């Protein structure tokens, strides 16, 4: 699936194959992965050659 800024995406790190679900944002021509959990230790990750996007989330389930 094609992804856009603002989507929640699954990204994989090349060096250790670690996978994460983050929101994709673009600032100043660069892409960043943002954790929505404010307590997450690595809250903002700059997208570089170490990361690749595998797909995007299609649905969001929220408790009311």
- pLDDT digits over 6-48, tens only? 999 999 999 999 999 999 999 999 999 999 888 888 899 999 9
Compute the average pLDDT of residues 39-64: 90
pLDDT of residue 2: 86
Q: Which CATH class is domain 8-56?
A: mainly beta
pTM, full prediction: 0.83
Q: 19 Cβ partners below 8 Å, 6+ apart? A: 10, 11, 12, 13, 54
Is the pLDDT assigned to residue 1 strictly greater than 70?
A: no
């Amino acid at each position: 699936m094609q992804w856009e800024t603002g989507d929640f995406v699954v990204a994989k790190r090349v060096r250790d194959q670690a996978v994460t679900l983050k929101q994709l944002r673009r600032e100043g021509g660069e892409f960043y992965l943002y954790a929505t959990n404010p307590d997450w230790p690595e809250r903002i990750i700059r997208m570089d050659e170490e990361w690749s996007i595998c797909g995007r989330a299609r649905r969001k389930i929220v408790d009311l």
